[in-house]
Each structure stands twice: as C-alpha cells, then as structure tokens.
C-alpha cells in the first residue's frame, strides 16, 4: 500500500488537481477586471483608389486598391491585468456591396505585449495591409466605416473581444489616373 510508487502516484495526482484548480481560479479572476477602454479619435480623411497588381501572388490580375491613411488615439491599459498575456489591436474597414453584401477587412494591426505599450497614438498612419475587394472593384463604394477592435489573450482561460469607434460612413472616391498607380501597387 505504501510503496514508493503509490506515494509518487498520489503526489502527482495531487499536483495535477491543484494545478487544475489554480488555473481555473486564475481564469475566473479575469471577470474581476472590467475593461474600460478609451478611444478618443478614429477617423480617416485621406483615401485614394488606384489600380494595381498584387505581385506577392502568382497572378497578374489588375484590381482596384484603396490607399488609406487614418488617425487613432486609444488607451488600452485597462485591459492589462495579471492574466493578460497580450492584446491584439486592429482596425477594420466595413463596407457593403452588391454580390457580397457584407464585407469586413483588417487594414492595420499590432500586438501589444505589455501595459507600458498600451497607448496608441497614430497620426495619418498608412494602412498596413493592401486594401482590395474580393471582386477586384472598389471605386465609388459608399458607406465605408472604420472601427477599432481588440482581442485580449489570457495566460489561461477565455479569450475576449471588444470594439468601439465606428466612424461615420465615408465614400470611396473614383479611380485615380495613372499617376497614383505606383503607390497602390506597393
């Protein structure tokens, strides 16, 4: 009954039980820290549409790209508590269409590893990713809105998401003349 093996088994069993309960309590403790995110500004007043090629893929299809600059001021420090591993922050553009009526694409994102890096102040920031539609056509789309989102990644437990700061719908302009072509293809 009291062999080394039984003792080892008991210790290991106790260890896993304790680890399980501590992890459960840590996961639940996230509920004690309500998120209070401040987003002061999100907006864009600088959008151009230009034709270009997506040269990172094996295709020579010419499509319309939006070249977009935006402003953002946000303070995400309240999302950091002892069970926060990182916060993934991103800006998305939502727009309607005819065949695909419901579209949303991420135009910029960043990983915030700690509270000290949790304040975002972006002025006239260029979109990080190329902005093109599944249909290839973009010009003249009405009611394009930008929104700011975050995803809290815990050390253990539930992942949470949040979003604020929908801009009023802006209209994408018509296609630029060949002068703007180079910039769009970049």
Partner 1 sequence: MDALGLSKLRHLKPRQLLSQVLNFALILSTAFMLWKGLSVATDSPSPIVVVLSGSMEPAFQRGDLLFLWNRNLELDSPPTPGTRVGEIVVYNVIGKDIPIVHRVVRKHQGPKTPLHLLTKGDNNHADDTELYARGRWYLDREKEVIGSVVGYVPFVGYVTIMLSEHPWMKTALLGIMGLLVIVQRE
Total residues in contact with partner 1, by rule CB under 8 A: 34
Nearest distance from C-beta of residue 52 to partner 1, angstroms: 16
Residue 88's CB is within 10 A of a number of other CB atoms, namely 15
Report residue 53 as tokens.
């090629």
Any contact of residue 52 with partner 1 (CB under 8 A)? no
Nearest distance from C-beta of residue 142 to partner 1, angstroms: 17
Instruction: Give SS3 for 121.
Output: strand
Instruction: Give SS3 for 8.
Output: helix
Nearest distance from C-beta of residue 176 to partner 1, angstroms: 23
Give the Å distances, CA to CA, from 59 to 24, 51, 137: 49, 14, 16
Phi and psi, residue 131, nearest 5°: -115, 105
Any contact of residue 101 with partner 1 (CB under 8 A)? yes
Nearest distance from C-beta of residue 179 to partner 1, angstroms: 28
Instruction: Give SS3 for 40.
Output: strand
Residue 133's CB is within 10 A of a number of other CB atoms, namely 19
Contact set for partner 1, span 30-49 (CB under 8 A): none
Any contact of residue 99 with partner 1 (CB under 8 A)? yes
Binder of partner 1 out of 77, 78, 81, 92 (CB under 8 A) = 92
Phi and psi, residue 66, nearest 5°: -95, 130
Instruction: Give SS3 for 68.
Output: strand
Any contact of residue 153 with partner 1 (CB under 8 A)? yes
Any contact of residue 158 with partner 1 (CB under 8 A)? yes
Any contact of residue 29 with partner 1 (CB under 8 A)? no
What is the distance between the alpha carbons of residues 95 and 2, in angstroms, rounded to a whole number?
A: 69
Nearest distance from C-beta of residue 178 to partner 1, angstroms: 26
Q: Which residues bind partner 1 (CB under 8 A)?
A: 5, 23, 56-57, 85-86, 88, 90, 92, 97, 99-106, 109, 111, 113, 129, 133-134, 149, 151, 153-159, 161
């Amino acid at each position: 009954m009291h062999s080394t093996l039984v003792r080892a088994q008991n210790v290991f069993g106790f260890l896993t039980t304790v680890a399980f309960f501590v992890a459960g309590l840590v996961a639940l403790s996230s509920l004690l820290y309500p998120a209070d995110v401040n987003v002061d500004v999100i907006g864009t007043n600088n959008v151009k549409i230009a034709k270009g090629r997506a040269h990172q893929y094996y295709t020579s299809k010419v499509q319309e790209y939006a070249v977009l600059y935006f402003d953002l001021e946000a303070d995400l420090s309240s999302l950091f508590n002892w069970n926060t591993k990182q916060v993934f922050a991103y800006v998305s553009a939502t727009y309607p269409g005819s065949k695909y009526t419901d579209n949303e694409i991420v135009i910029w994102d960043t990983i915030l590893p700690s509270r000290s890096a949790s304040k975002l102040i972006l002025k006239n920031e260029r979109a990080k990713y190329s902005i093109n539609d599944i249909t290839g056509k973009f010009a003249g789309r009405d009611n394009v809105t930008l929104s700011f989102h975050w995803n809290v990644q815990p050390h253990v437990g539930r992942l949470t998401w949040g979003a604020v700061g929908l801009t009023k719908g802006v209209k994408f302009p018509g296609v630029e003349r060949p002068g703007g072509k180079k910039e769009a293809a970049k």
